[in-house]
Structures are given as C-alpha cells and as structure tokens.
C-alpha cells in the first residue's frame, strides 16, 4: 500500500494516516521518500542517511 494514497493531497504539509501520533502533520517530501525508500539503490539510501546525520551533528 502506498503511503501517498494514505495522505491528504490538498496542501504542502500532509497528514499521514500511518504516523504514530494520530493527525500528525508530515511533509509531503518525507512521505514521498518513505514511500520510495525500499526501491532506492543502497548507495542512494546510504547517501541520504549520511546527509541527514551530517546536519544533526
């Protein structure tokens, strides 16, 4: 099941039905990334994780 099909499509910040907190707002770009994560090549996923970790240090 696609997460995009479970998200409202009327605004930039989407509400995701599968989020832990009911009604939690989630950014559409994040929903898109989560939906496609398993299909990304390993080197792309590694790069994304490295970029995120680099910004949180």
This prediction has a pTM of: 0.56
pLDDT in tens, the chain (57 residues): 455 555 444 444 444 555 556 666 778 888 899 899 999 999 999 999 999 999 986
Distance CA 11, CA 30 (A): 14
Contact between 35 and 26 (Cβ < 8 Å): no
pLDDT of residue 28: 85
Helix (H) or strand (E) holding 27, with range, is: strand 25-27
């Amino acid at each position: 099941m696609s997460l995009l099909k479970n998200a409202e499509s009327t605004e930039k910040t989407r509400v995701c039905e599968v989020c832990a907190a009911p009604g939690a707002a989630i950014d559409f770009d994040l929903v898109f990334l989560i939906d496609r994560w398993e299909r990304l090549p390993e080197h792309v996923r590694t790069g994304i994780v490295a970029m995120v970790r680099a910004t949180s240090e």
